[in-house]
Structure 1
Amino acid sequence: MLNHSQINSTISFFAVITKIAITSAIGNLISQSKWLWYRQDEPHSLKDLQLFEDASRGPWGAVALLFSIRARHLTLIGATITVLMLLFDPFLQQVVIYPDRLVTSKKAATIVRAENYIARNEEGLPLPSVVDMSMKAAIYHGIFDVRDQADVNVEHYCSTGNCTWGGFSSLAVSSKCVNITSYIEKSCNAGGCHDVSLPGGPTLTGFGGQINSSVTNISSSLADIEASVVQFSSLITKSKNDSDDAFAWECALFYCINTYSASVTDGTIQQKIEQTWRNNSATHSQDSDLIYNPPSSVINMTANTSAFKVSSLAARAMNSFMASTFTGSGGIDVSGSGSAFTSDVIHAIYDTRDYSKRIENLAISMTNNIRQQNGSGSGPFNGQAWKTETYVKVRWAWFAYPATVIALSLLYLVGTITETTYRDALTWKSSNLAMLFHGQSLKLEHADRVLVSTLSEMSEKAKDIKVELVQELDEEWKLVQR
């Protein structure tokens, strides 16, 4: 199989051969056309003779011929072809290119998924009532990741740097946040407003750089969600003297079953949630595991899993830890003298610009931890690895130009042959002997007066004729027979 350089060399070789053949043929055809030009019914200027000769030698002469001979004559095709040959090589070189494409590879492509979540310690033993350290790290990472890119940390293996995974299901954590600023109540008197609060929830006294967060259920927007992880609300003020600069959010984190599609492009992973299903009947009031049996009509069960589970110990430990984590308060002295928060988590959610996005990032980070734990109950999901392959692509549109030049050359050849036959002209082409032997003002004499018409006859006759270029007494230059 030819490589890139060999293909380019082959194209260049044939391009040169074709160009030489066409250029040579067109030059001879233009030379022959000059005899056809003077073979017409009316005489033409002797100057045209030089125009034809120049046109047969290159593109500049061909351009001059195009502008000088405006009559409809076959020679115009030849002159046009001579000019078009200037771009013959560039167009032909563009016919073949070597783009890259992705083709399937037999190498491995895996991504983690989980059927179960059972909190375990470093020795792999179940934890009775606390969240394992790896999950705590994932929670803090999700909260403190200011770029909100927890999704890029999902554990996967893609040996080629380009992989895809179709729909696969996994146990996950999802979030939902609603803006409940409209629920804020203000305590005001003649001196102005001093306190803001949420009914049955957090309260702030005074304004300026404060947050109060607690586990509460304030609005009805999340009433249909069994917050199997945690549900909390946060009341935040930013301005020192403006009670209207207060806002509040309420969020729920809950276990669910997600159907994912994922891909790795040039080593960067992207993951998309195709569908989410949750079981609102799974509550912590039951002294049993949280069981999730999504119907096959609702979620794509590509992984052939019918049931997912969160152990009761892990679920209660998670709920207790998250309730403690999102309960707290603090503030920043707007004069710049200092700040105080009950925890770094409370400080982080106070500083976030997109509250809902930060909690979503937290849910993704927790999901990644669940999916990559050893006790997840399932092996990695297999996908398809892709490798880059360079292939030869023929762009036929670029071949239209060379093909047109070749077609015009054939047309010109056939036309010249036809007109030569029709006008009963001899094939003299670029011969100078024809002009010398048959010019009216030239007197080439020899002992035997033999008529010469063809090129071979003229060449044979010319062997015995000696001429010299001389300047006579009248200072005229002449080609004189000796």
Structure 2
Amino acid sequence: MGAIGSGNSPVPPARSKRKTLRFADIWVLVSSLVASAALLGALIGLLFAFDGKPIFDSGIVTLNTLIAILSTAYRACLIHALSFVIAQSKWVVFAEGRRRLLDFDRIDSAGEGPLGSLLLLFNSNVKNIGMVRFGALLIVVAVAMDPFAQQLLQYQQRTTFINDPDNRTTILRANRYSKGTETRISLAAIRFVEGNSTSLYGGGNVPITADADFSMQSALMYGLVQSNDAVSQQAAFACPSGNCVYPPYTSLSVCSACADLTSSIAVSQVASSTRMNITLDRAVNPPQIDRDDIIRYSLPNGLFLDNSLEMTLRGTTNASRSLAFGNITTLIWSQTMLRHPASTNITTLPLTSTDTGVFARECALYYCVNTYNSAVSNGVLFESISPAPDQSTREASSWALVPSIPGQAPPSFSPSRQLDISYHPRFSFPRRSDLSFAGGGGFNISQTAINSISSLVQRTFATCTTMTRNCTTNLEPVAENWTPLNGFYMTVNSGPQYEPSAAQALWRAERVEGVFEAVARSMSNALRAGGDTNPAAASGDGNEVAGRVGVVTVLYRVDWRWIGLHGFVVGGALVAVVWVLTRSGAQTGGVPVWGASTLAVMAKGAEMAGLFRGVDRVAGMEERARGVEISWFGESMLPRQRGEESDEEAWRMIR
């Protein structure tokens, strides 16, 4: 250390010997930085190992504990390295030229912790220290990163599906359906004569009546009034956890199809003497129309609608009488309708108006085989349904007549009667084999089930009106005796009039296609729930398809977005280290790597002999340091009052 001479001329202190950059001086810095990067790598590897895995709990430590340990350790190493960088940077910036001595204190304080770094970031009086401020920012961020380290590890619930050990996860399907009842008279012999409306049977009784199982009856009614979504939840299934999946399976089903017949409507004008005059038994004053001419809308199957009614219906079980579905060989019912839009007010409609928006639809219900993909999520059943193409056709050899009495040949029917699967009070009496589907899937429907469902559908969708001829017999209404009109809906002063009751659902529906979709799905649910478990016996318990039960598992989920913040701090620290080491070696002769060494400060402080003499308060020292500029290294290292021109004047102030 230099001394002040006894004369008037100051003697500058001896300059310290400058040393070049050596690894021995920076091994602690490098070790801290390498350890920080290694610990961060270990943290990332740990997160990778447990991402998407079930919660880990050894009973002693948890994954959160391990993450906290690694995060704290790597940040401690990182902050140590950054503190060294800032401490060394105060020597670097003072080697580049004269600066306020107070800047030395401000930079040194930033290396002591986050508060000093934060103060330096907002201290605009310390000039030209961009990289030092960057290091201070990294320290602040590294200290504040602990909450963000916890954000790396998230939790999520995931449903995993396993085989149900209790075999309770099931859904029902049907290979064969035989529910329903038939009542037959006992006869020694019965002869059926084609083309004759009467058959030879004793006592004038109906040879056979059929009644559908009540589950099928309720399913049909439910489908008429509920949406397709509501109907889908009525399928029979068991799912203990509320989340289950089932393998794809095929089942006997009822399908629907609809066609737009509006383009087939013929419009004509008829005399009032031929108008429709519907009379109901319960109507005291049936509506009358006193007009000369009436507009009539007609379809090729004979169904027509005058401007005096909202809707007329014609249904049939005979595919040959269907306008759009004559190729369906498993037809249950085909419903044709002519109707005005719901917005039409018939009571004020001019009977001669032809521009009323009348439209026609035909919808069919038929037996089919469908493929189901079923899953239950949160207790709600979701099903994707598609036709089974290899099992969608009727087996040609099925539905064969068999002898009703041993030793007696079965009756001989015409080809059309042989194929007909509709209920008839006479011609349904002979025994038949099951109706089967091709493809070898073993899908069958018994004669009892076919007759009972057909009888139910006929009674539901059709009735005899006073306009219908050949319907006043002691037999139940049958399709072959119905005239084209077997249902209607109209509004009179006393309120709506309709037959049958199902006409209400067809009139109120926004989409009649949706009604038949819901009916078909509801009837399919009844088929699946009532299928025979043993194809050879009518057990009616349904066949169970075993599924997999969902188990809710809490898993780790790593939010990798937050790792970017950690990478930024480590990468920034590396840049700061390279910068400070490069700048230390870039000075002429090199800047000694002193870092935060107190001894180095004391050694250089000796060169400030007398600057702070007589001052024992920090505020006073700061006041003097604020007005003094100094360069620790270089050709002129003496302190100088800001604005002074020579070292001699500065040393004179110190003395």
1:133 equivalent in structure 2: 214
Question: What does 1:415-426 align with in structure 2 at a 5 Å threshold?
Answer: 416=580, 423-425=590-592
C-alpha deviation, 1:355, in angstroms: 0.5
Q: Which residue number in structure 2 is paired with residue 31 of structure 1?
A: 87
2:443 to 288, 303, 308: 308
Contact persistence 2:255–2:521 (CA under 8 A): yes
Q: 1:61 aligns with which of 111, 119, 136?
A: 119
Q: What is aligned with 1:300?
A: none
Q: 1:66 and 1:343, CA in 2 relative to 1: closer, same or farther beyond 3 A?
A: farther
SS of residue matched to 1:409: helix
Distance in 2 between the 1:431 and 1:64 partners?
26
CA distance in 1, matches of 2:578, 2:152: 28
- Which protein has the larger Cα radius of gyration, Structure 1 or Structure 2? 2
Within 5 A, what are the aligned runs for 1:376-395? Answer: 377=535, 379-395=543-559
Answer 1 or 2: which has greater strand percent: 1
- Number of the residue aligned with 2:16: none
In the other structure, the counterpart of 2:258 is 177
Residue 221 of structure 1 aligns to a residue in which SS? coil
Aligned counterparts of 1:20 and 1:354: Cα–Cα separation in 2: 70
Are 1:320 and 2:375 an aligned pair? no
Percent identity of paired positions between Structure 1 and Structure 2: 22
Contact 2:297 2:306 in 1 (8 A): yes
The match for 1:100 is: 157
Aligned to 2:524: 367
1:404 aligns with 2:574: no
Task: Give the whole-Å Cα distance in 2 for the aligned partners of 1:8 and 1:234.
Answer: 69
Distance 1:385 1:15, change over 3 A: same
Q: Which residue of 2 aligns with 1:333?
A: 491
Deviation of 1:120 after TM superposition, in Å, equals 3.9
The counterpart of 1:221, out of the listed 324, 328, 336, is 324
Letter in 2 for 1:138: A
Report the counterpart of residue 264 of structure 1 in structure 2: 376
Q: Which runs of 5+ in 1 are unaligned?
A: 122-126, 296-304, 446-465
The aligned amino acid for 2:89 is S
Paired residue secondary structure (2:432) = coil
Shift of 1:100: 1.9
The answer to whether the 8 A contact 1:110-1:158 is kept is yes
Counterpart secondary structure, 1:380: strand
How many equivalent residue pairs? 437
Note the C-alpha offset of 1:407.
Answer: 4.0
Q: 1:88 aligns with which of 145, 165, 171?
A: 145
**Residue of 187, 200, 207 corresponding to 2:301:** 200
Verify the 8 A CA contact 1:62 1:79 in the aligned structure 2: yes
Query: Measured at CA, do residues 192 and 54 of structure 1 come closer, stay the same or move farther in structure 2, by a change above 3 Å?
Result: farther
Partner of residue 275, structure 1: 387
Deviations 1:315-366 (A, max 9, x none): 123223312321143434265x311222321211121111011101101111
Partner of 2:472: none
Aligned in 2, Cα 1:3/1:232: closer, same or farther, shift over 3 Å? farther
Deviations 1:103-144 (A, max 9, x none): 2223242110101111246xxxxx972212111111111112
- Give the corresponding residue for 1:159: 240
1:152 & 1:3 partners in 2: Cα distance? 43
Shift of 1:46: 3.0
TM-score for both structures, normalised by structure 2:
0.59
How many angstroms apart in 2 are the aligned matches of 1:390 and 1:333?
61
Supply the AA of the counterpart residue of 2:161: T
Deviation at 1:148, TM superposition (A): 5.1
Residue 356 of structure 1 pairs with residue 523 of structure 2: no
Residue pair 2:93, 2:129 contacting (<8 A) in 1 also: no
Separation in structure 2 between the aligned mates of residue 172 and residue 151 of structure 1, nearest angstrom: 13
Cα drift, residue 93 of structure 1 = 2.2
RMSD of aligned alpha carbons: 3.6
2: CA distance, partners of 1:200 / 1:189: 18
How far apart, in 1, do the equivalents of 2:570 and 2:226 lie?
65
Is this contact kept in 1: 2:88–2:594, CA < 8 A? yes
Q: Name the amino acid aligned to 1:399.
A: I
The aligned amino acid for 1:383 is G
Unaligned runs of 5+ in 2: 1-55, 182-207, 272-291, 400-418, 422-429, 464-486, 536-541, 626-655
Which range is displaced more, 264-273 or 61-70? 61-70
Q: Distance in 2 between matches of 1:20 and 1:245?
A: 81
Contact 1:186/1:193 (CA < 8 Å) preserved in 2?
A: no
1:134-169 Cα offsets, whole Å, 9 max, x none, are: 111111111121465311211011122111122211
In structure 2, C-alpha distance between the alignment counterparts of 1:200 and 1:393, rounded to whole Å: 65
1:117 correspondence with 2:252: no
TM-score (norm 1): 0.78
Judge conservation of contact 1:151–1:365 (CA < 8 Å) in 2.
yes
Deviation larger for 193-202 or 95-104: 193-202
Query: 2: distance between equivalents of 1:128 and 1:214?
Result: 20
Moved more, 205-214 or 179-188: 205-214
1:210 and 2:210 matched: no
Asked if structure 2 preserves the Cα contact closer than 8 Å seen for 1:209 and 1:334, the reply is no
Distance 1:69 1:477 in 2: 18
Of 135, 138, 157, 1:78 maps to 135
Asked whether the equivalents of residues 163 and 547 of structure 2 are also in contact (C-alpha less than 8 Å), the reply is no
2:284 maps to none
